[in-house]
Amino acid sequence: MEKIKVMWFQAGGCTGCTISLLNSSSIKIKNLLLDEIVPGKIVCLIFQPTIMAESGEKVIKVMKGEEEKGDFFLVVEGAIPTKNNGIYGKVGEKTFLENILELGEKANGVICIGSCSSFGGIPKGSPNPTGCMSVKEIFEERNINKQVINVPGCPPHPDWFLGTITKIILGQDLKLDELNRPIDFYGKLIHENCPRRPFFDKGFFAKSLSEEGCLYLLGCKGPFTYADCPLRQWNGGTNWCIKNNSPCFGCTEPEFIDKNLPFFKRKNLEKIGE
Ligand code: SF4
Ligand code: SF4
């Protein structure tokens, strides 16, 4: 049995990405851990602060030991504080920043789960007191030549992460967009597949959240947001933001959060030429 080791590092975030993944319903995290998706290969979560049984020195030793061997994939959840040498977050006596740089250089690959590690997300929102940055920004600033796969969302759909890591394990071609997001999940605008699109095309707009009609005037960011939520839906395919009468807030985009605020205010459509 081949073990694919995954080190899951949590930096500045809310743990929502872990919770979303643990709530997966189509394929489940256990399927990946138990050889039920890729025969002959199991994913071994060697470090995951939310669910590992041990804590303290013991697990830091494991982390450091695996770092020495260098045979692991690094998953990063949360943005990285960089102000004042990153003193605002530490694991094992080192700042998140130091850990990410050291682990990132040695890892076989880096996957950023969620909008915080992918683009900065909410921790990077104005006034960003701790100087939070995304992993890609940090690597680029320091000329670290390591590809980062971004799986954004606040939180991301569990399928987006599980599908991405499964493709990597299978050695399948993972096509990425210009923001390093897998095209399989982020290839189309929400607006392209939205069931309310006929309302938009006819200029029939809802004036309140409970009304029928397109939610664009109520702040929907679907015309600017790439993700397959309308097709995949959430919670086992039962519902998603717009079906639940909420505008899309654009949680998979680098504009999330500052440039998508206020959430319920219309964003100018000139950007896509309409
Ligand atoms: S603006 Fe929003 S609600 Fe309206 S069609 Fe586009 S995605 Fe759907
Ligand atoms: S519909 Fe928009 S805000 Fe909702 S999960 Fe999808 S991308 Fe995020």
Q: In sequence order, what DSSP letters do the residues of 50-69 get, joined into one string?
A: TT-S--THHHHHHHHHHHHH
Q: Is 145 helix (H, G, I), strand (E, B) or coil?
A: coil
Q: Answer yes or no: is pLDDT of 272 > 50.
A: no
Distance, C-alpha 163 to centroid of its chain: 13
Q: Which two tokens stand for residue 99?
A: 């850990």
- Asked if residue 215 has its Cβ within 6 Å of ligand 2, the reply is no
Proximal ligand: closest to the CA of 235: 2
The answer, yes or no, to whether any atom of ligand 1 lies below 6 A from the CB of 215, is yes
Instruction: For residues 25 and 108, state if they share a domain.
Output: yes
First to last CA, the chain: 53
Structural domain for 158, as ranges: 2-185
Give the tokens for residue 176. 């990425």
Choose the final residue of a domain: 132, 150, 185: 185
What pLDDT digit, counting tens, does each position of 62-107 carry? 899 888 888 999 999 999 999 999 999 999 999 999 999 999 999 9
Q: How far is CA 6 from CA 32, 81, 88, 104, 230, in A?
A: 12, 23, 25, 12, 30
State how many domains the chain has: 2
Q: How far apart are CA 177 and CA 183, in angstroms?
A: 6
CB 227 within 8 A of CB 190: yes
Q: 142: which residues sit within 8 A by CB, 6+ positions away?
A: 101
Same domain for 21 and 97, yes or no, is yes
User: What is the widest separation between alpha-carbon atoms in the chain?
Assistant: 62
Residue corresponding to tokens 């392209």: 192
For the CA of 199, the nearest ligand: 1
Query: Do the Cβ atoms of 232 and 200 come closer than 8 Å?
Result: no
**Same-domain status, 208 and 248:** yes
101 lines ligand 1 (CB under 6 A): no
The response to whether residue 206 sits with its C-beta less than 6 Å from ligand 1 reads no
**pLDDT in the model for residue 197:** 97
Same domain for 192 and 177 = no
- The CB of 5 under 6 Å from ligand 1? The reply is no
- Catalytic positions: 14, 17, 116, 154, 191, 194, 214, 220, 229, 241, 248, 251
Ligand 1 centroid from CA 253, angstroms:
16
Establish whether residue 240 lines the binding site of ligand 2, counting it when its CB lies within 6 angstroms of any ligand atom: yes
In testing the pocket of ligand 1, which one of 188, 189, 190, 249 has its CB within 8 Å of the most ligand atoms?
190
Q: Nearest to residue 33, comparing CAs of 176, 91, 24?
A: 24
- State the average pLDDT over residues 175-180: 98
Is there a single domain that holds both residue 156 and residue 192?
no
Best of 192, 218, 220, 268 for a ligand 1 pocket test (most atoms within 8 Å of beta carbon):
220
Q: Distance between CA 173 and CA 67 in Å, rounded?
A: 27
* 242 has a pLDDT exceeding 90: yes
Residue 250's CATH number = 4.10.480.10
Checking if the pLDDT of 274 tops 60, the result is no
Q: What is the mean pLDDT of the chain?
A: 93
Query: Which residues, 6+ apart, have CB-to-CB distance to 210 below 8 Å?
Result: 245
Does 130 lie in the same domain as 227? no
Query: Which residue type is seen at 82?
Result: T
Question: Strand order of the sheet with strand 73-77?
Answer: 41-47, 2-10, 73-77, 109-113, 148-151
Reported confidence tier of residue 32, pLDDT bands at 50, 70, 90:
confident
